[in-house]
Structure formats: C-alpha cells, structure tokens
Amino acid sequence: MSLQSPAEQQTLKDVLTAMQRPVTLLFFTQSIGCETCIEARHILGELASASDRIAIQELNPVLDKERAAEYGIDRAPAIVLLAGDAKTDTRIRFLGAPIGFDFAALIDAVLVVSGGRSVELSAGTQARLAAIREPLDIRVFVTPTCGFCPRAVALANRLAYVSALVTATTIQATEFHDLAREYRVSGVPKTVATNGREVLGALPESQFVEALLADDTQL
C-alpha cells in the first residue's frame, strides 16, 4: 500500500525530473532491533519508483561490516548517498527513517547530488571550506515534525558535498535516544561538529558557517 496519495506521487515525480545524474541510495537495514526499517524501506521504494535515476542498494550493517565501516555506518536504518554512474560518495548520510520534514530534506539532497538543484553557497562559505585541513564530521539532529530542520540539514549537506573533508549526517533524535543524550539534544535542529562547535536552530548560511568553522580556518 502506497504511503502517498496519487497527487503526492505525481508531485514527487515532477520534482525529480530535475535530476541530471543517477543517484544510488545505500540503505542499511536489519530485521532485528530496528523498529523503523520497514517504514524506511517503503519510503525509499516509493522514492525510487518516482524516478528511474534513483537506485536503492540494500545492505545490513552487521552482515556487510566492511561496507558499513567504509561509510561510517554502525546502525540502522541509515542512508548513504552516492552520485553518478561511478557511485561517488557524497559524504551525505541520514540516520533514521526519512519521515515528516526529513523526507523533504532527503529529496533536496538527492536533487543536489544529481545536479538537479544548485548548491548555492556563498564565496565566503566556499573560502572557509577550502581552508579546512582536517576531516570534519557534522551531525544535525532533527525530528519529523520540525519545520525548521530541513534548512539546517540542507546547509550541512551542501558543505559536505562541496568539501571532501566534510561529512554530514542527519540524525532522527526521536529514534536514536542514545545519540541525543550523548550530544545533549534538548531542542532541534541542533548541529554538532567534531571540532567541538555547536549550533542550535536554523541559522542563515553565514552565521551557520561562522559558528561551525570559525576556529578551523585562518580567515
């Protein structure tokens, strides 16, 4: 049974016609200990059925340990975006079922890595990214009902897409309570980076980048 109405399905198909290159979604799932994996599978199935440029490859984080380790995945459900025929890692990940507003964030990411939507980062942001010298992991905590979260996710994903040293992971705080506790998430969106910097809320690009990268560049 479809999770979308016929009108919603058609809207999704229309939006995805902007895709210029194929995108492969690595879907890490498991049958034991994952309450939302079935729902995530249905959602990704509908996404793939809306465009022949989207392919889904299903993996298990336990059985496919090497592939999971390659992309830094240690739990399910998780989604890794690969771009083009070469299946290049975009360093964009989603942890949790992409439901609610997070589904819109996933679609935005698919469009960006497929060339169907502009990256649109300012010259100042690109200069700061070029000055990064060490790998930087950015984690954005979200919830399905947070209307401001997709903005923070979109910025983090674009930083990862542009810089080979940045990885962006969107995390459903309502699914992964252990991570939410570890990073002291009391509100969303909350963005934390491995350089110790944190951002609470959906800030404009310049403020978001300044808050996350100010201590990591020489500008």
Domain boundaries defined on the chain = 6-113, 123-216
Quick one: angle between helices 123-130 and 149-162, nearest 10? 60
CB neighbour class for 52 (10 Å; exposed up to 12, middle 13-18, buried from 19): exposed
The CATH code of the domain at 6-113 is 3.40.30.10
Output the pLDDT for position 218.
Answer: 40
Output the pLDDT for position 147.
Answer: 95
Percent of the chain whose pLDDT exceeds 70: 96
Q: Are the folds of 6-113 and 123-216 the same?
A: yes
Nearest to 191 by CA among 154, 148, 145, 139: 139
Q: How confident is the model at residue 215 (pLDDT cuts 50, 70, 90)?
A: low
As a whole number, the mean pLDDT across the chain is 94
Question: What's the rounded mean pLDDT across residues 62-88?
Answer: 96
Residue type present at position 5: S
**3-class state of residue 43 by DSSP:** helix
Q: How confident is the model at residue 85 (pLDDT cuts 50, 70, 90)?
A: very high
* CATH code matching the domain that covers 123-216, chosen among 3.40.30.10, 1.20.1050.10, 3.40.50.1470, 3.20.10.10: 3.40.30.10
Q: Distance (Å, rounded) from C-alpha 149 to C-alpha 171?
A: 11
Of 119 and 153, the structure prediction assigns the larger pLDDT to: 153
Q: Where are the alpha helices (DSSP H) in the chain?
A: 6-16, 37-49, 65-70, 101-113, 123-130, 149-162, 177-182, 205-213
pLDDT of 217 > 70? The answer is no
Say if CB 171 and CB 179 are below 8 A apart: yes
Nearest to 75 by CA among 52, 93, 51: 93
Say if CB 147 and CB 201 are below 8 A apart: no
**pLDDT digits 0-9 by tens, 10-27:** 999 999 999 999 999 999
Say if CB 142 and CB 153 are below 8 A apart: yes
**pLDDT digits 0-9 by tens, 172-205:** 999 999 999 999 999 999 999 999 999 999 999 9
Q: What are phi and psi of 80, to 5 degrees?
A: -120, 130
Output the pLDDT for position 92.
Answer: 98
CB neighbour class for 17 (10 Å; exposed up to 12, middle 13-18, buried from 19): exposed
Q: Distance (Å, rounded) from C-alpha 150 to C-alpha 164?
A: 22
Integer CA distances (angstroms), 88 to 25, 67, 193, in order: 11, 14, 23
What's this model's pTM, rounded to 2 decimal places? 0.94
Show Cβ contacts of residue 123 under 8 Å, excluding neighbours closer than 6 positions.
none
**pLDDT digits 0-9 by tens, 91-123:** 999 999 999 999 999 999 999 999 999 898 999
